[in-house]
């Protein structure tokens, strides 16, 4: 598909700000320490990384919302945080991006945070600060009350961004999908783990090859025939209409009424962190904004190609896309 065609350009220029999308899932704060290693410590046989840059950005489900906001969508976020400094930073980032975070409530002791230490483009270590216990029933009830409020405000699509950190429990996710189905709201799921029955009834699911192996028990290679069979089983076993598989260097394939396959467009891959979030955000914005599935897969793949060429988690903007298309 010609990414410079008039329909795509009109969509990017005028169609995104009319979309209203809710993200539900595991909210995180991503931290990065960028530096360089030139010697080994005299204290222990470990490298010394001289840090030259620090960065904090929205992570997990919050990164999906970040991408949507940077595209120009009206974005809503729903999930839980702790009562701590990490949460304060996240709320400030949401405010700066004009993301409606009235659905973000205190529902656990601490906010999930991940700190990555890099030398050049090589990740040396990742430090995770997290609580992964399932959210309590009273927290689920509060979130479901908020969900109904947001539905009444005209939400057009719901993204369930599951990072297996305790928010997307089977009972909670099932009820979110049931509410959405009753109101004919499109539901898209970025899955985690091997319990996909909780996603039953969703419209789209967007696994990578590893994730589809997790639920199928392994043995699925990154080829069309294996993935075609696996996608068919997902549709049947979990009553999910359509399966979009992200395939790393092979791009992505949507198994819908027909197969839509697009090759990767990335020229250089520096960091794949957050690429799946970019695909989910762009694909959802595209189908919500009126593009066809063929156009949505192509522009999502195009956006992912921009994201992986950046250092660290990066939210692709409308301006990034327009600039890349013009070049």
For the beta sheet containing 100-106, the strands, ordered from the edge strand earlier in sequence to the opposite edge, are 100-106, 74-81, 20-25, 157-161, 186-190, 204-205, 242-246, 252-255, 259-262
| 162 and 192 Cβ atoms separated by less than 8 Å | yes
Q: Which of 258, 290, 286 is nearest to 302 (CA)?
A: 286
| 88 and 105 Cβ atoms separated by less than 8 Å | no
Distance between CA atoms of 144 and 203, rounded to whole angstroms?
A: 20
Nearest-5° angle of CA 113, CA 94, CA 58? 30
User: What is residue 236's three-state secondary structure?
Assistant: helix
Q: Which of 215, 274, 202 is nearest to 243 (CA)?
A: 202
What distance lies between CA 74 and its chain's CA centroid? Answer: 16
CA distances from 61 to 109, 182, 191, 234 (A): 19, 24, 11, 23
Distance between CA atoms of 320 and 327, rounded to whole angstroms?
A: 11
Distance between CA atoms of 54 and 63, rounded to whole angstroms?
A: 18
User: What is residue 297's three-state secondary structure?
Assistant: helix
Q: Is the dihedral of CA 83, 31, 129, 269 positive or negative?
A: positive
Please give the positions annotated as active site. 277
| 79 and 61 Cβ atoms separated by less than 8 Å | yes
| 242 and 152 Cβ atoms separated by less than 8 Å | no
Gap between the terminal Cα atoms of the chain: 16
């Amino acid at each position: 598909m010609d990414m410079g065609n008039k329909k795509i350009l009109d969509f990017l220029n005028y169609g995104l700000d009319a979309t209203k999308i809710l993200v539900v899932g595991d909210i995180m704060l991503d931290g990065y320490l960028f530096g360089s290693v030139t010697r080994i410590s005299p204290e222990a046989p470990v490298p010394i990384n001289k840090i030259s840059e620090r960065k904090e950005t929205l992570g997990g489900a919050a990164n999906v919302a970040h991408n949507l906001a940077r595209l120009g969508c009206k974005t809503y976020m729903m999930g839980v945080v702790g009562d701590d400094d990490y949460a304060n930073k996240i709320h400030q980032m949401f405010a700066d991006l004009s993301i409606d975070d009235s659905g973000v409530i205190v529902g656990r002791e601490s906010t999930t945070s991940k700190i990555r230490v890099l030398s050049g483009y090589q990740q040396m270590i990742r430090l995770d600060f997290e609580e992964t216990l399932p959210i309590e029933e009273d927290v689920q009830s509060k979130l479901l009350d908020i969900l109904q409020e947001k539905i009444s405000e005209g939400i057009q699509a719901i993204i369930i961004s599951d990072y297996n950190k305790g928010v997307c429990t089977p009972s909670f996710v099932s009820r979110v999908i049931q509410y959405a189905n009753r109101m004919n709201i499109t539901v898209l799921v970025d899955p985690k783990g091997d319990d996909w029955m909780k996603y039953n009834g969703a419209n789209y699911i967007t696994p990578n090859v590893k994730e589809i192996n997790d639920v199928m028990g392994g043995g699925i290679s990154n080829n069309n025939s294996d993935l075609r069979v696996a996608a068919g089983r997902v549709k049947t076993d979990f009553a999910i209409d359509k399966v979009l598989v992200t395939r790393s260097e092979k791009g992505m394939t949507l198994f819908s009424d027909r197969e839509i396959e697009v090759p990767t467009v990335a020229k250089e891959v520096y960091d794949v962190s957050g690429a799946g979030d970019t695909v989910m955000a762009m694909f959802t914005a595209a189908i919500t904004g009126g593009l066809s599935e063929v156009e949505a897969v192509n522009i999502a793949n195009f956006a992912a190609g921009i994201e992986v060429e950046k250092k660290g988690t990066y939210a692709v903007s409308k301006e990034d896309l327009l600039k890349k298309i013009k070049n």
